[in-house]
Structure 1
Amino acid sequence: MTMKIAIIGSGFSGISAAAYTASAGHEVHVFEKNSTMGGRARQFKTSNGYVFDMGPSWYWMPDIFEEFFKDFDTAPDHFYKLVSLDPQFEMVFRDGITAIPEKYDDMRRLFENLEDGAARKLDRFMEEARIKYEIGMREFINKPCLSWTEFLSLKIARNTLKLDLLTNFRNHVRRYFKNPKLITLMEFPVLFLGATPKDIPAMYSLMNYGGYKLGTWYPMGGFYRVCEAMITVAGQQGAHFHVNADVEKIHVVDDRAHAITVNGKTLLFDAVIAGSDYHHTETLLDESYRNYSEDYWQKRIFAPSCLIYYLGFRTRIPNLKHHTLFFENDFDVHADEIYRDKKWPSKPLFYACCPSQTDDEVAPEGHENLFLLMPLASGIEDHEELRATYFTEMISRLEKHTGTSNLAEYIDYKKSYCIKDFIRDYNAYQGNAYGLANTLNQTAVLKPSIKNRKVKNLYYTGQLTVPGPGVPPSIISGKIVAKEINQLKNILV
């Protein structure tokens, strides 16, 4: 049975779901409220020649991207050129700079120089992480997580202990390393999962393997090239994309979603996939059809929001790499102010991404493209005066790191983006940037369900459901939901 399917939102999960459902022969329509596709991964261009990716900037787990394109008999290099970054990134500490090299042998030497015996320990850590990556990405992460019975297989049971689900990531790292810099380097990747290392299962050392061991890459032209490529693939399968299309209501009749209202017009569909913010999607339903109450959402642990500054400089900035992490201050203090105290940070950490160090396409000749990102608690006060205070601090630390002065005088493009903007553009619950934190109590079946329990043909995808936050998990999330929707034909006939 061919169905007419509506997909709300054109982030990575929505595009992925569109490609897989359209390839199954369904008529698929993707509705994006903004003027450009991509959700949080949108891109914008300025009148004076800068090209800014608005969201993701770390291309990790390249095999997940490759598998998506392979499913449609193509490959990433048919659409964009990947460059391996060397160093993968730099981390700025109070007493110096540590760079993570591209090649693993060089990484081993770095670790050994910082701590005797650390090269061998890194080998053991990465071998464990490899096993977790292979088990997790092949056996666990592709499950719809509608029931714990999905995990009752001999293979999964045999490998469960290897995943370290009951050990926290902080203790796991400290089993191997004592040097504070090495501990910070190994804990950093779980920041993408939206919680502190002490609240993340040790299973997620698979992130270290998917990043450090498989490499940090950059798609020339910007991360939006990946969006464009996936949209092209979905279009080749027959999916239709609509921008400036705000979905205002999901209509339910006889426990089935039979229509959506878009920009005031009601359109009939056989099934709906919501790649929009989960909490917001539920507000499009009458209250009796929602999976979760407002109280439920208030008790969830959300990943951070962030303050971002998109900056163009009419000069090149020396001594700056593509990715730079400013960790001169105490990580735990900043983390507590995100998750426990819920306030603007007193001694923030932040991240600088300068793609023009790698890519001439993203800035005019002789200019620099840079964005600064500072994680902060979701749901807190946000106004321009606060933003400006932290901008001054970040620029000051950037100047110190690069040996420059008066950088602000060279800015010829500046745009801030924070909590209010995430709410306005993405209907993000409390202005979160990265979805739900991947804590043990918010993993697998304990995440918000991909299936509406009261509406037979309404499904959810994206960073607030399985598998979790991040670009590769979002791509997988779209595939999981598409598989479930493609089986609906047996129910709806």
Structure 2
Amino acid sequence: MPQQKAVIIGAGIAGIATAIRLAVKGYTVEVYEANSYPGGKLSQFEQDGYRFDAGPSLFTMPQYVDELFKLAGKNPADHFTYQKLDVVCKYFYEDSTRLSAYADTQQFAQEIESKTGEPAASVIKHLANSSDIYSITNHVFLERSLHKLKTYLRWDTVRSILRFPKIDPLRAMHKANQSNFKDKRIVQFFDRYATYNGSDPYQAPATLNVIPHLEHHFGAYFPYGGMYSIPQSLVKLAEELGVKFHYNYKVDEIVVINNKAKGIRAKGENILADVVVSNMDVWFTYNRLLGKYPKLHPQKILNQERSSSALIFYWGIKKHFPELDLHNIFFSADYRAEFGHIWKQQDIYNDPTVYLNISSKYKTDDAPEGCENWFVMINVPANNGQDWDKLIADARQHIIAKLSKILGEDIAPLIVCESILDPRSIESKTSSYKGSIYGTSSNNRFAAFLRHANKSSKVKGLYFCGGSVHPGGGIPLCLLSAKITADIIS
């Protein structure tokens, strides 16, 4: 019997991982990528002697990368290496409070108590609750399809359903955190985790309090080669398994005959396949690649609220700042106002929370000696036709003023080179509709059930992976989407 052939549209991290899993299962796999490089949002570039990881900068749950090497019968440590961070992130508040989020739970809790007066016991209790939410949701919501009956016939699913109230889906995340902590700074600290999937803590369900567990139990890590070494190592593994990657190869159409995906059309030719997997945002998959078939479009899903986007400044800084770490957060003085601007007013607050990543802290050749490569990001709304040129110019001034004030030095003259990524360029470079980073938002208590499935219900042989489908965005969830999709296919 001849091997079945799978075609994957897009070489994002989920597309690469799906290719590896299908190749291990015996499929002939070809990946078609519109860009000249793999990785999707997980890309890199160099400018004036500085190297920047252009996309995701936080690496958690490395076991999902290691698992791909193990499936191929290889020792992960021979192909991809990383180190665990002792300090996950440093936090800077407007009132001059500074916190180090230590990886060790007890040390972290004591740090909060000593700096804010919030009892360490409250922090430990909150993280224990986060662990409980993870244990209830992990095997049901994260590792299996929510759209197949057999998921709900398993005993561990039944046990999770019986514990459903424990995941706290009926309260907003902020409300839950407000009841758990007295200190407003710590409420803000834990509210921030809603941004990990592009949501609003004042609307999103408290179930998202599962996210701190991923950092403080599993830890945060830095790949020795930088974040881009993740797709690089996985592409090499895929190629060793026989996967073929076609770059600069834009797919124009998914070929459908009698409601069955028969392959793709690209560069004027039909490329036949038994299985088609789209790693492209589902909005563009339907509206660009299945535009001929409007009756196949799941309009309710495609019309859902999109997640937030990002505005990123990549700055070459001609100075070393010893008080900064790999990950740094500079909080807004008014979090509610900031999220109100993002979600209600669809613009950028004049005091945004600033995330600053400096990979040269760990990979010293990412910047010239005595210098640092700054990845400076703020959360912004998805692109709905705003005047981005004005918003970007204003935000740049506010960010520089904020960092200069807290660090005690004028940042502006230290910037020797600059590149910018905004919602418009995120959409054009990564086919993320409206520049939303995580597909649909989670500002709904049923959001986990409302994401697009990993398999088409109307087109046989058509599957989906990546951040716009179940279980969600971010590197770990994209890798899990690949696992779910490959399991459904096989």
Q: Shorter chain as normaliser: what TM range? A: over 0.9
Distance verdict in 2 for CA 1:246–1:441, change over 3 Å:
farther
1:411: how far off?
A: 2.6
Find the counterpart in structure 2 of residue 4 from structure 1: 5
Q: Distance in 2 between matches of 1:383 and 1:167?
A: 34
SS at 1:217 equivalent: strand
**CA contact 2:177–2:190 (8 Å) conserved in 1:** yes
Within a 5 Å distance, the mapping from 1:439-478 to structure 2 comes to 439-478=443-482
Find the counterpart in structure 2 of residue 417 from structure 1: 421
Q: Distance in 1 between matches of 2:347 and 2:76?
A: 41
**CA contact 2:225–2:363 (8 Å) conserved in 1:** yes
Q: Distance in 2 between matches of 1:123 and 1:104?
A: 7
1:396: how far off?
A: 2.1
Q: Distance in 2 between matches of 1:117 and 1:256?
A: 58
Find the counterpart in structure 1 of residue 308 from structure 2: 304
Within a 5 Å distance, the mapping from 1:87-486 to structure 2 comes to 87-96=87-96, 97-114=98-115, 118-147=119-148, 150-160=151-161, 161=163, 162-283=166-287, 284-285=289-290, 286-288=292-294, 290-293=296-299, 296-298=301-303, 300-380=304-384, 381-405=386-410, 407-486=411-490
SS at 2:185 equivalent: helix
Alpha-carbon displacement from aligned partner over 1:351-375 (angstroms, at most 9, x marks no partner): 1111112221311222211111111
**CA contact 2:9–2:251 (8 Å) conserved in 1:** yes
Find the counterpart in structure 1 of residue 16 from structure 2: 15
Distance verdict in 2 for CA 1:139–1:427, change over 3 Å:
closer
1:192: how far off?
A: 0.6
**CA contact 1:125–1:176 (8 Å) conserved in 2:** yes
Find the counterpart in structure 2 of residue 28 from structure 1: 29
1:174: how far off?
A: 2.7
Distance verdict in 2 for CA 1:63–1:125, change over 3 Å:
farther
Counterpart AA for 1:107: F
Distance verdict in 2 for CA 1:82–1:35, change over 3 Å:
same
Distance verdict in 2 for CA 1:152–1:440, change over 3 Å:
farther
Alpha-carbon displacement from aligned partner over 1:275-316 (angstroms, at most 9, x marks no partner): 0111001021122453323x6533x12211111111112332
Alpha-carbon displacement from aligned partner over 1:126-176 (angstroms, at most 9, x marks no partner): 222223223322333111221466224332232332333334322322332
Q: Distance in 2 between matches of 1:117 and 1:99?
A: 15
Q: Distance in 2 between matches of 1:130 and 1:364?
A: 41
**CA contact 1:291–1:452 (8 Å) conserved in 2:** no
Q: Distance in 1 between matches of 2:252 and 2:325?
A: 43
**CA contact 1:221–1:361 (8 Å) conserved in 2:** no
**CA contact 2:42–2:228 (8 Å) conserved in 1:** yes
Q: Distance in 2 between matches of 1:181 and 1:71?
A: 43
Q: CA RMSD in A?
A: 2.1
**Are 2:69 and 1:69 equivalent residues in the alignment?**
yes
Alpha-carbon displacement from aligned partner over 1:309-340 (angstroms, at most 9, x marks no partner): 11112332343222111113311111122222
Q: Distance in 2 between matches of 1:247 and 1:152?
A: 38
Q: Distance in 2 between matches of 1:441 and 1:177?
A: 22
Alpha-carbon displacement from aligned partner over 1:53-86 (angstroms, at most 9, x marks no partner): 1111011233333334333334543233323334
Distance verdict in 2 for CA 1:385–1:264, change over 3 Å:
farther
Distance verdict in 2 for CA 1:432–1:91, change over 3 Å:
same
SS at 2:375 equivalent: strand
Larger mean Cα displacement after TM superposition, 16-25 or 131-140: 131-140
Larger mean Cα displacement after TM superposition, 238-247 or 60-69: 60-69
**CA contact 1:31–1:247 (8 Å) conserved in 2:** yes
Q: Distance in 2 between matches of 1:385 and 1:203?
A: 36
Structure 2 unaligned residues grouped into runs of 5+: none
SS at 1:130 equivalent: helix
Distance verdict in 2 for CA 1:382–1:156, change over 3 Å:
same
Alpha-carbon displacement from aligned partner over 1:392-439 (angstroms, at most 9, x marks no partner): 22122222222222x333333211111110121122211212222234
TM-score when normalising by structure 2: 0.92
Find the counterpart in structure 2 of residue 56 from structure 1: 56
Count, aligned residues: 482
Q: Distance in 1 between matches of 2:321 and 2:114?
A: 29
Sequence identity, in percent? Answer: 27
SS at 1:40 equivalent: coil
Find the counterpart in structure 2 of residue 80 from structure 1: 80
Counterpart AA for 1:335: F
Structure 1 unaligned residues grouped into runs of 5+: 487-493
